[in-house]
Structure 1
Amino acid sequence: MAAITPAVVVFAIAPVLLNLTGTGAFWVLMIGGLLGTAMAFSWAELGSTYPIAGGDYTIVSRTLGRALGFISLVLTGPVQAFLIPAVVALSIAGYLSSVVSLDARIVGAFVIGVGVVISIVGVKFTARAVGVLLAFELAVVTFIAVLGFISIQRGPDVLVVPSIFDPATQVGGPLPFGTLIAGVAVAAFAYNGFQGALLFSEETKGNPRAVAHSVFLALGVAVVTAVIPVAAGLMGAIDLAAFTNSANPWSLLVEGFGSPVFATVVNLGIALSIMNGVVALVPYFSRVLYSSGRDHVWPAAISKPLASVHPKLETPWVASLVVGVGSIILILAFDVDAMATIIGTVVSVEFVLISASAIVSRVRDKDIRRVYKMPLWPVIPIFSGLFAIFILTQQTTHDLTITGVILLVAFLYWLLYLRPRSATHLHMLAPIYGDTPEGQASSRP
């Protein structure tokens, strides 16, 4: 739940949706929740069947083959592991600006550094820390929703018909259907992380069915804590056109109460709640890089350190450092905001791979032990896979081109480096529960 970061969804990603889709942001988040629910069934079944720290790529490799498995690793590993924490960390400075003017890049780098330290200290300590901060984060999100509802300016009918306002003229009009669907990719990015229990499955005690339950619980909380505040903001904003076109609409809502001190306190609370997301994201993504090193995905000089575990703290400390350093380099050297738009496209591609895995796993591995089986198979994964493909058709040529280049580079790396070394590299970790024999898994193309 902390990896989803409800505060980031509301305070950093929702403004992007409001700018892109106007009042349609409400429907975009609802549709994103529907797609997320369909995906949750696939992740719940696959994650409890293959409880291995690497998450998606370990599943895709076993079901669709190691070429697509490596592509999944690149999407959920280096691409998201460096970019998402950087995007989240950068959003903090905007809310701190009401107190002190700071360079957003320096603030972002510092916050990621804190996240790395907490991640290395230990998974139990990290869980306690993010648990406390998550409670605070949910309280801030709830408080913002309450502010919207108590300052209500219009009825719920504003949510029914999606409208968008021209930034220059402030004149409203109907939201194009294609734009609404394109926004669902951003919502997919917003909810991304509800499958996070899969990455900690090796460290989870008890019945692996609990991994499935965690996926549904995290998604449910994510949808509720996103949809309700956005609905409250749209109903409570004094100027709806200004609210949907603002880079920081929540500050407009808070400033409507007329107290600078009140606004400052709320903005500080928002900044602290967003920081919790970074604290949760570093250990989340470090498990992906750790698992890739353990499976010898990279040259030995890289894989061996990534696979190392601290002898006392029992955490993948090198992988955590790599996540932190990679994110900090992105923040300090590149325009992360300009790169952030591709995340939704990348997540949609991953949705296609996981949906296909949920279908192939049942067909190919009929005798595997499944502690959780989704209902209405294969209807649900077919729906989610086709929906994700439809979303991809609505993305910009720029984002599709960048994503295509990432996929091509990943495939060439597998073809030219990993495939000739299939006996020693990308050698999947022996599964924990009921997977096909290691020889069969490693013999797949």
Structure 2
Amino acid sequence: MIQPIFSMEDARLETLGYRQELSRKLRSRDVLGLAIANVSPTMAVLLLTSGVFSIGGTFAIGADAVLAIVVVLISMCLGEMGSLFPVAGGMYSLIRFVLPAPLAFIALFNYLIQGVILPASIALGIGQFVENLVPSIQVPDAYIALIAVAIAVAIALVRVEMGAFVTMAMVAVELLVLGTVTIAAWLHPHQALLQVTFHPVALVGQHLVPVTMGMMAASLAPAFNIINGYDATLGFSEELMGGPRTLARTVRVAAITAAIAIVVPLTSAVISAPDLGAFFRSPSPVIESVQASLGPNFRIVLDIGVCIALFNSMLVYFMYFGRVFYTTGRDQLWWASANRLISHINRFRSPAWCVMFLALPTAVLLFLSQLNWLIIFSGTVTTVVYFFIGLAAIWSRRKFANEVPPYRMPMWPLAPGIVVLFTAFAIATQEFQYLVGEFVLSGMALAFFAASRWWWRKGTQVFTESSVEKQRLDG
């Protein structure tokens, strides 16, 4: 009964101009586990929330609650387009098939830079928490991080089902830690839920002050880095069994699960904070709150949980973005020799060269002081990609009016319209330095687009032509 599904999916890939080269052995629960590992709720709650707390104070609760709704709307867009284009390129492939080629290049560059910045920041976090666990280790964080990267890359180079098994085991540990933190926090409440949610305050100088509209707006884009990564479901679409409707359902479940697993513990941590001033002054506010509730000895459990979460997330980033990069080679995006190398599959049916190409700049970033700026900047580039997803979800209904997707999102065009407006607002309210960074990155993308069209691929297929059309012309 499974073989016809394989054949149907293989035929769909052929229609889109691809051959089935990856190993289709993952079930929905496996891909869901990979996506949740990529989200890494433990890392999001314990580490990534500190940036939002520093900008918007307790409005972090409201920001993430609003973002959770937007995330569900984004997952509807991803579900419909993913069922129509079930290709391993993830959001890049969806944008590539729908939007004009220059916009697709901009989205790709915003997308791939996350595959370098985020694993580097995660690896450095592992180094810091390993030192907390074993203070006697006299090794710089960067070298511990480099070892973690090497181990993650080694796993990412072998069969995808092995990576899925490892991540599923680690996700179970993550959720256990978060569940313990949440329950313990509500056993020792110190703040009123309605008060901190609807009358948010932030630390300015040494005083708690009401959060302004400007502070609320500025906290939206950084919040995108917190509930983010559920789109990794799409990166394993060519390895998922069950067909396009299964893919659409899995990405929606991943988004909803991620939102709940992050918003609930985050809210609980604020509720259990004895002193909001000390909470905001801490470099890790949620960990500060948990220690206040459960005592300093519980910090060991947190450190272990965070190390597991960080490694899990880094592993899936390499697996996921390696497949995105692999798809660009199949799309003939670069020069001929690069395309052959990037689209190569090793004996484990893994895009090994792509994983290695992402790991090398990641290793370099471990030793650069500008990484903190890049981490914050990654929130901006994430928002830009989601903006393009909203546009593509609107555009695809018109461009492919004669095709009926296996899954049609409800609330169209309201759902993608809200995504476009929300992400556009979040981008517009970013600090000037990050907008400058986005303009530079977009300029680089357009330069590569021009090169791909007029230099590397002169006289051959341009980016906007499909691989199927290329094969027809070559024949």
Q: Which residue of 2 aligns with 1:434?
A: none
Distance 2:191 2:354 in 1: 49
Matches of 1:6 and 1:268 in 2, distance apart?
Answer: 14
Determine the structure 2 residue equivalent to 1:217. Answer: 253
1:183 aligns with 2:219: yes
**Shift in alpha-carbon separation, 1:440–1:239, aligned structure 2, 3 A:** farther
Q: Distance in 2 between matches of 1:72 and 1:208?
A: 23
| Residue from 390, 404, 420 that aligns with 1:385 | 420
Alpha-carbon distance between aligned partners in 2 of 1:404 and 1:371, rounded to the nearest angstrom: 37
Counterpart-to-counterpart distance in 2, 1:58 and 1:165: 42
Cα deviation, residue 50, structure 1: 0.3
Answer with 241-250 or 17-26: which moved more: 241-250
Q: 2:130 aligns with which of 75, 96, 99?
A: 96
* TM-superposition CA deviations, 1:36-68 (whole Å, max 9, x none): 122111111001110011122222222112221
Identify the residue that residue 198 of structure 2 maps to in structure 1: 160
**1:233 aligned onto 2:269:** yes
Q: Is the 8 A contact 2:185 2:269 kept in 1?
A: yes
Tell me how far apart the structure 2 counterparts of residues 105 and 16 of structure 1 sit (CA, whole Å). Answer: 22
* d(CA) in 2 for partners of 1:44, 1:440: 29
What number of residue pairs does the alignment pair up?
432
TM (norm. structure 2) is 0.86
Could you tell me how far apart the structure 2 residues matched to 1:376 and 1:248 are?
38
1:124 — aligned with what?
161
Q: Which segment is superposed worse, 68-77 or 406-415?
A: 68-77
Q: Secondary structure of the equivalent of 1:281?
A: helix
- Match for 2:107 among 65, 72, 75? 72
Moved more, 211-220 or 187-196: 187-196
Distance 1:269 1:415 in 2: 46
1:31-430 alignment, distance < 5 Å: 31-77=66-112, 79-101=113-135, 102-157=139-194, 158-166=196-204, 168-169=205-206, 171-256=207-292, 259-311=295-347, 313-419=348-454, 421=457, 423-424=460-461, 426=463, 430=467
The answer as to whether partners of 1:108 and 1:331 remain within 8 angstroms in 2 is yes
Secondary structure in 2 matching 1:164: strand
Q: CA deviation at 1:230?
A: 1.4
* CA apart distance, 1:268: 2.0
RMSD: 2.1
SS across alignment from 2:46: helix
Equivalent residue letter for 1:44? G
Identity %: 25
TM-score (norm 1): 0.92
CA-to-partner distance for each residue in 1:338-385, whole Å, 9 max, x for gaps? Answer: 211111111111122111111111111111240001122112111210
Q: Which runs of 5+ in 2 are unaligned?
A: 1-35
Unpaired segments of 5 or more residues in structure 1?
Answer: 431-436
Q: Per-residue displacement from partner, 1:242-279 (whole Å, max 9, x unpaired)?
A: 11231112332343257544322332222222221112
SS in 1 for 2:209: strand
Secondary structure class of the residue paired with 1:402: helix
For residues 385 and 236 of structure 1, the distance between their equivalents in structure 2, rounded to whole angstroms, comes to 35
Change in Cα spacing, 1:343 to 1:381, as seen in structure 2 (3 Å) is: same
Decide which moves more: 91-100 or 186-195: 91-100
Q: Residue 433 of structure 1 aligns with which residue?
A: none
CA contact (8 A) 1:16 1:247 kept: no
